[in-house]
Amino acid sequence: MNFAYELPWYRKFINESDLVFCDGFGVLWGAKLCGYCIKSDNRMTCPDYIENLALACEQENISLFLLAGKPGTVDKAIAKLKAIAPNLKVKGHHGYFEKIGDENEAIINEINKFRPDILYVGFGMPLQERWILDNLTRINAKVFLPLGACLDYYTDAVYRGPRWMTDRGFEWLTRLVIEPQRLWQRYLIGNPLFFYRVFRALIASSWKNYSKMSKFWRT
């Protein structure tokens, strides 16, 4: 949400997506503060549903290409998914490649050769969304699904934290402890900044409504 506030192209990407789902607890709480009817069970995190996604793809004969993670992570993820969905049409490639130039072209050719129904892209935000926009018209896929570090969690390459924390909005704390150098700014600055913007929007909305009512009373 901070990216959407600061980057017009990113905000446009979200607003023009066919489906937007609630991933983080911050968005859930922010939506509730703004008066939207959203429940905790409306929150969807990919590590929790990726196996259900694989089973649904297998049942409906939908192919899946995984483009994410460090070398080896995709292979582990495919092995786990095939264990529960042996007939799943799935292929993958790691996400550590140059996003422009010859290497990028080779990856696009590999994807197009497979012709996936769903392309999972997990480079982290906002790089994955920028890459999708830059290559959208050149890739033969029906659905683009940016899902960040899901495969890292699914393959246990990165620890999410205990369930009691992830289900109560404290997954960020575990991630901060594990990767402080990379994530300190996102959480220690980004979390308060997000809620500051939410409260500022609420105050602005309340003042606007008050001004309208005052004008009505004077009339």
Q: What is the pLDDT of residue 25?
A: 83
Mean of all residue pLDDT scores within the chain = 89
For 116-163, how does the pLDDT look when each residue is reduced to its tens digit (9 = 90+)? 999 999 998 999 999 999 999 999 999 999 998 899 989 988 877 777
User: Which architecture does CATH list for 45-160?
Assistant: 3-Layer(aba) Sandwich (3.40)
Q: What is the pLDDT of residue 213?
A: 61
Q: What is the pLDDT of residue 217?
A: 61
In the predicted model, residues of the chain with pLDDT beneath 50 are none
Q: What is the pLDDT of residue 214?
A: 63
Q: What is the pLDDT of residue 208?
A: 72
C-alpha–C-alpha distance, residues 146 and 120, integer Å: 6
Q: What is the pLDDT of residue 99?
A: 95
Q: What is the pLDDT of residue 215?
A: 63
Q: What is the pLDDT of residue 193?
A: 93
Q: Which residues contact 159 (CB under 8 A, 6 or more apart)?
A: 174, 178
In the chain, where the domains are located: 1-44+179-219, 45-160
Q: What is the pLDDT of residue 90?
A: 98
Give the pTM: 0.84
Q: What is the pLDDT of residue 60?
A: 97
Q: Which residues contact 64 (CB under 8 A, 6 or more apart)?
A: 53, 54, 57, 88, 89, 90, 91, 116, 117, 118, 120
Query: Dihedrals φ, ψ of 107, to 5°?
Result: -65, -45
Q: What is the pLDDT of residue 32?
A: 86
Q: What is the pLDDT of residue 40?
A: 77
Q: What is the pLDDT of residue 75?
A: 96
Q: What is the pLDDT of residue 216?
A: 58
CB 23 within 8 A of CB 48: no
Q: What is the pLDDT of residue 170?
A: 74
